[in-house]
């Protein structure tokens, strides 16, 4: 009897011990979940507050009048395309932080006079643009107007009055593109040139001011060839006034054409 009661008491004690352990573990787990939930809610609140703060800051920056583009600072401004440039810039107002500089750059390069442009923001409200321009090098008369072209033959502008200081190109539009290949060779001679043209089979034709003859200088070394001719010319025992043209296309050779004769050589 006593053994039976002792066994019963031990069983009850063990049962209550295990049950108490389960209760304590359950309470700890519930407490952990509650604490973790509070932490998660706190972190979510902080994140939401940060997002709201960023949104308000971004909205302020985008709508703030102080950050709206109020001026464009232009360096080395175009001469012939001022109105077109002004029209492009009018389309690029708004907030300076969201201004699409790549699109602005692409549209500026569509203007023939502009070879390149560098653009930068100057906070809070100014955009600076530095231009690298194409400069007039040739003039070509057609349809009552003078076309102004750069050294690559790119059309820059037209005007009614004859421009000063540019090399005149004679012939059609194809002559301009043919002559433009020799711009580097013509550059040191430009102040002395009356006109240039392109005639097959002789190629480039150059006429200097105050010099009666026409030159066919070939494709390179124009200055050296022409200077050599003038040095030799002073020693020639002939009537130099009768020379119509000088052919310098072949290195080391000078060919003359007289006013009253077919092409000859010396």
Mean pLDDT of the region 118-128: 95
Specify the pTM. Answer: 0.74
d(CA 154, CA 137): 10
Percent of the chain exceeding pLDDT 90 equals 62
Radius of gyration from C-alpha coordinates of the chain: 43
Pair 206, 215: CB distance under 8 Å: yes
Mean pLDDT of the region 21-48: 72
DSSP three-state, residue 135 = coil
Is pLDDT at 264 greater than 50 in this prediction? no
d(CA 256, CA 242): 10
Pair 141, 168: CB distance under 8 Å: yes
pLDDT tens digits for range 166-189: 999 999 989 999 999 999 999 999
Quote the pLDDT of residue 206.
Answer: 98
Q: Which of the pair, 6 or 152, is modelled with greater confidence?
A: 152
Q: Which residues pair with 120 in a beta bridge?
A: 128
Q: Which residue has the tokens 């295990």?
A: 18
Quote the pLDDT of residue 129.
Answer: 98
Element (H, E) at 88: helix 82-90
Pair 155, 148: CB distance under 8 Å: yes
Q: In the predicted model, what is the mean pLDDT of the chain?
A: 85
DSSP three-state, residue 181 = coil
Mean pLDDT of the region 34-61: 69
């Amino acid at each position: 009897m006593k053994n039976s009661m002792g066994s019963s008491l031990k069983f009850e004690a063990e049962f209550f011990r295990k049950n108490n352990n389960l209760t304590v573990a359950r309470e700890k787990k519930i407490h952990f979940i509650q604490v973790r939930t509070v932490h998660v809610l706190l972190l979510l609140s902080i994140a939401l507050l940060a997002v709201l703060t960023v949104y308000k800051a971004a909205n302020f920056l985008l709508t703030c009048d102080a950050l709206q583009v109020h001026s464009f600072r232009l360096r080395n401004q175009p001469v012939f395309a001022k109105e077109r440039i002004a029209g492009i810039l009018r389309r690029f107002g708004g907030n300076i932080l969201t201004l699409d500089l790549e699109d602005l750059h692409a549209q500026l390069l569509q203007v023939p006079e502009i070879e390149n442009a560098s653009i930068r923001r100057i906070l809070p409200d100014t955009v600076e643009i530095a231009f690298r321009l194409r400069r007039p090098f040739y003039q070509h008369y057609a349809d009552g107007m003078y076309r102004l072209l750069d050294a690559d033959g790119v059309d820059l502008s037209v005007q009614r009055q004859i421009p000063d200081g540019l090399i005149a190109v004679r012939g059609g539009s194809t002559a301009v593109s043919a002559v433009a290949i020799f711009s580097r060779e013509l550059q040191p001679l430009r102040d002395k040139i009356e006109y240039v043209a392109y005639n097959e089979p002789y190629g480039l034709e150059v006429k200097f001011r105050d010099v009666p003859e026409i030159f066919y200088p070939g494709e390179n070394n124009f200055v050296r060839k022409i200077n050599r001719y003038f040095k030799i010319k002073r020693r020639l025992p002939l009537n130099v006034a009768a020379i119509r043209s000088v052919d310098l296309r072949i290195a080391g050779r000078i060919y003359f054409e007289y006013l009253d004769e077919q092409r000859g050589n010396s």
